[in-house]
Amino acid sequence: MLIAVSGDRPAPRNLFVESGAMLGLLGLGVLAMQLVISGRHRWFAGRLGQDNLLQFHRQVGIFGWLLVLSHPLCMIIGSPVYLAFLDPRAGWIRAFTLYLLLLAATTLIVTTLWRRRFHLQYEWWRAVHAVLALVVVAGGLGHALMADHYTAGWVTKALLGGVVVVPLLLLLETRLFRPWRLGRRPWRVQLVEQRSGGVTRLELRPEGHPGMQFNPGQFAWLTLGPSPYTLQQHPFSIASAATEPERIELAIKPLGDFSASVADVACGTHAWLEGPYGTFSFDVTSGRRAVFVAGGTGITPMISMLRTCRAKGCPQPLWLVDANNEQGDIIFRNEIESLAQTLALRVVHVLLEPPPGWQGETGFVDEALLDRVLPPDAADIDYFVCGPPPMMNLVEPALRARGVTADRLHSERFELV
Amino acid sequence: MQHLYARRAGIIVSLLLLGAALGVARLMVG
C-alpha cells in the first residue's frame, strides 16, 4: 500500500474507489505476509511459539479474505465502470481469472474454518491450503500490476513485485527445499510399542548424524516412509529426555487417519523429523518449582520435561495434575509412578469417569480442585498446561484466578485446524 | 491464555491496518 502511493500520484478518484484500491493492496500485502507467518521459519517464529503464531495467522487470514471481498465491492459501488473487470464480454480471461481468485480465497478460508465438517483429511487440507495460497497471492500480484493505476511506474511495479515475490519464494523453500534438507538427516524407527491409553510409542534413531538437540516440551514434524517429499507430515510432542538427542521417543494417540496408522508401522521404517519447534519448554536447571497440568496426550511434553529433570537430578518440588476420561486412558502410568519415586514429584490423577472404588480426584480440573492439590502460588513457580481445548479453557482462567501471572503460565494447544 | 492474546493481537493489527488503508484512501482523494 505504501509502495503504491509512494510513486507518482495518479489523478484522484472518489472515496469509495480509492478505499477499494487501498483495501485491495492491503489484502495482497496481508495475504503475502501470511506465507511468512505460517512457514515455520525459525528466524521469524523466534520466541512467539508456533501455536500462538497460528492463532494470529487464523485471525489475520480471515481479515485478508474480507479485504479481498471488499475490494471489488467498494470499487464497483464507487464507480460502475469497474464492473467491466468482472464482465466476460469486456475481457473473458481477466473476468475468469478474477472470479477464480475470489473463489480460491473463499475456498481457502471455508476449508480451514470447517475442515472437519467437510471431512477433509488433514494432509489433503494442507496441500490444498498451500496451493490456494500460492494461487491467491501470485494472482493478486498479477492483478495489482496489471491494474496499472498506482502501479503504473516501473519502480513501483518492481518494489511491489519484490515484496510479494519474497514470501512466495519462502513458501517454495518450506515445501521443496526443506524436505530436501530433511532427506540428508534420515532417522529409522527402532521400536514400535503399544502402551496404556491406546498410545503407540515410537522410538527413532538417527542414521549417520548425531540426532536432534531440543528443549524438553518441544515438538517435531514427523514423516514416515521412504521419502521426505510427501503430504504426510504431522506434528508430535517429543516424550524422551532432552539429554538424549540420539533417541527420540514420540507417543502417538490414534486421533486421525495418520496417527491411527502409526501402530502398524514396521521397525526399520525410514523416518524424517523436522524441528524442534515450540516455546512450551521448562528450563530444568533453573531450580524453579513447576506445576504441570495435563489432559490426555497433553502429558507427552511434560513427560519429556520430567524425564529431563530426572536425568539432570533436579531436586526442586514438582506437581503433576494428569486429567483423563477413564483409568485406562492414563498414558505413561508406570513411567509417572517411577518418576514420582525419583523426583520430588506429587502426582494427582483426575478421572472424569472413575471406576468403582477409585480413591483419587474426579470431575473436571477446576479452581476448587487446583486449590486442594496445589501449593499456594508463588513467584518461583512456573505452570505448564497442555490438553484438549475444553480443559485448557477451564484451567487457564482457574490458574489466573489463583494469582498466576501470564509470564509464568505456559500453555500449548493442539488441534489447531 | 497466550492463544487469546495472539487472537486479540490479530484482531488489533487487522483493525489498525484497516484504519491505515482508509486513512491513505482519504489522503489520496485530497
Q: Are residues A169 and A28 in the same domain?
A: yes
- Across chain A, what does the average pLDDT equal? 90
- Mean predicted confidence (pLDDT) in A224-244: 90
Q: Do B1 and A400 touch (CB under 8 A)?
A: yes
Distance, CA of A182 to chain centre: 19
Q: Are residues A219 and A350 in the same domain?
A: no
Inter-CA distances, A263 with A192, A196, A251, A269, Å: 7, 13, 11, 12
Q: Are residues A242 and A193 in the same domain?
A: yes
pLDDT in tens, A280-328: 999 998 999 999 999 999 999 999 999 999 999 999 999 999 999 999 9
Residues of A in contact with B20 (CB under 8 A): 1, 26
Q: Which three cell numbers stand for residue A306?
A: 520430567
Q: Omega into A355 within 30° of 0, i.e. cis?
A: no
Structural domain ending residue among the three candidates A182, A207, A231: A182
Q: Report how far residue A57's alpha carbon sits from residue A35's, in angstroms, rounded to the nearest whole number.
A: 9
Nearest to B14 among A14, A55, A63 (CB): A63
Q: Are residues A167 and A231 in the same domain?
A: no
Q: Are residues A23 and A133 in the same domain?
A: yes
Q: Are residues A318 and A222 in the same domain?
A: no
Q: For chain B, what is the total number of helices (H) and then of strands (E)?
A: 1, 0
For A126, what's the count of Cα atoms within 13 Å in the CB-facing half-sphere?
A: 15
Report how many domains make up chain A.
Answer: 3
Q: Are residues A244 and A326 in the same domain?
A: no
Q: How far apart are the first and last CA of chain A?
A: 30
CB A323 within 8 A of CB A391: yes
B20 close contact with A: CB closer than 8 A:
yes
Q: Are residues A174 and A269 in the same domain?
A: no
CATH classification at residue A394: 3.40.50.80
Confidence (pLDDT) at A263? 85
Q: Are residues A31 and A178 in the same domain?
A: yes
Give the orientation angle of helix A92-113 with respect to helix A122-147, to 10 degrees: 140
Residues of B in contact with A15 (CB under 8 A): 25-26, 29
Distance from CA of B14 to the nearest CA of A (A): 6
Of A269, A267, A115, nearest in space to A193 by CA: A267
Ranges assigned E (strand) in A296-413: 318-324, 345-351, 361-362, 381-387, 409-413
Cβ count within 10 A of residue A376: 8
Residues of B in contact with A22 (CB under 8 A): 21-22, 24-25, 28
Distance from CA of A108 to the nearest CA of B (A): 18
Q: DSSP states of A115-154 as a string?
A: TTTTT--HHHHHHHHHHHHHHHHHHHHHHHHHH-STT-SH
Structural domain ending residue among the three candidates A182, A202, A223: A182
Q: Report how far residue A362's alpha carbon sits from residue A372's, in angstroms, rounded to the nearest whole number.
A: 12
Q: Do A1 and B3 touch (CB under 8 A)?
A: no
B12 close contact with A: CB closer than 8 A:
no
Residues of A in contact with B26 (CB under 8 A): 15, 18
Q: Does the pLDDT of residue A256 top 60, yes or no?
A: yes
Q: Report how far residue A401's alpha carbon sits from residue A280's, in angstroms, rounded to the nearest whole number.
A: 21
Residues of B in contact with A26 (CB under 8 A): 17-18, 20-21
Which domain does A58 fall in, by range? 2-182
Residues of A in contact with B18 (CB under 8 A): 23, 26, 63, 67
Size of interface A-B (CB pairs under 8 A): 85
Nearest to A49 among B2, B11, B25 (CB): B2
Confidence (pLDDT) at A335? 93
Q: Report how far residue A262's alpha carbon sits from residue A252's, in angstroms, rounded to the nearest whole number.
A: 8
Q: Report how far residue A284's alpha carbon sits from residue A288's, in angstroms, rounded to the nearest whole number.
A: 8
Of A186, A224, A233, A179, nearest in space to A207 by CA: A186
Q: Does the pLDDT of residue A411 top 80, yes or no?
A: yes
Q: Do B11 and A22 touch (CB under 8 A)?
A: no
Q: Report how far residue A30's alpha carbon sits from residue A24's, in angstroms, rounded to the nearest whole number.
A: 10
Nearest to A12 among B7, B10, B28 (CB): B28
CB A42 within 8 A of CB A192: no
Q: What percent of chain A has pLDDT over 70?
A: 98
B17 close contact with A: CB closer than 8 A:
yes
Q: Does the pLDDT of residue A48 top 80, yes or no?
A: no
Of A25, A58, A200, A28, nearest in space to A129 by CA: A58
Confidence (pLDDT) at A175? 80
Q: Does the pLDDT of residue A415 top 70, yes or no?
A: no
Q: For chain A, what is the total number of helices (H) and then of strands (E)?
A: 13, 12
Residues of B in contact with A12 (CB under 8 A): 28-30
What are the residues facing A224 on neighbouring strands? A271
Inter-CA distances, A325 with A349, A354, A362, A412, Å: 10, 8, 9, 20
Q: Are residues A169 and A295 in the same domain?
A: no
Q: Report how far residue A108's alpha carbon sits from residue A15's, in angstroms, rounded to the nearest whole number.
A: 30
Rounded (5°) CA angle A413-A216-A360:
65
Q: Does the pLDDT of residue A156 top 90, yes or no?
A: no
pLDDT in tens, A58-114: 999 999 999 999 999 999 999 999 999 999 998 899 999 999 999 999 999 999 999
Categorize the per-residue pLDDT at A45 as very low, low, confident or very high, splitting at 50, 70 and 90.
low
What number is the ipTM of this complex?
A: 0.92
CATH classification at residue A207: 2.40.30.10
Categorize the per-residue pLDDT at A47 as very low, low, confident or very high, splitting at 50, 70 and 90.
low
Q: Report how far residue A226's alpha carbon sits from residue A268's, in angstroms, rounded to the nearest whole number.
A: 11
Categorize the per-residue pLDDT at A13 as very low, low, confident or very high, splitting at 50, 70 and 90.
confident
pLDDT in tens, B1-30: 667 788 889 999 999 999 999 999 998 887
User: If DSSP codes are grouped into helix, strand and coil, which group holds residue A199?
Assistant: strand
Q: Which three cell numbers stand for residue A220?
A: 517435531
Nearest to A12 among B11, B21, B30 (CB): B30
Structural domain ending residue among the three candidates A156, A182, A208: A182
Q: Are residues A172 and A207 in the same domain?
A: no
Rounded (5°) CA angle A146-A175-A177:
105
A180 burial (CB, 10 Å; 0-12 / 13-18 / 19+) is exposed
Confidence (pLDDT) at A150? 84
Q: Does the pLDDT of residue A127 top 70, yes or no?
A: yes
Q: Are residues A147 and A225 in the same domain?
A: no
Rounded (5°) CA angle A304-A306-A310:
115
Q: Which residue has the higher pLDDT, A330 or A155?
A: A330
Query: What is the chain A residue with the closest CA to B29?
Result: A12
Q: What percent of chain A has pLDDT over 90?
A: 66
pLDDT in tens, A163-221: 888 888 888 888 888 889 999 999 999 999 988 778 899 999 999 999 999 999 999 99
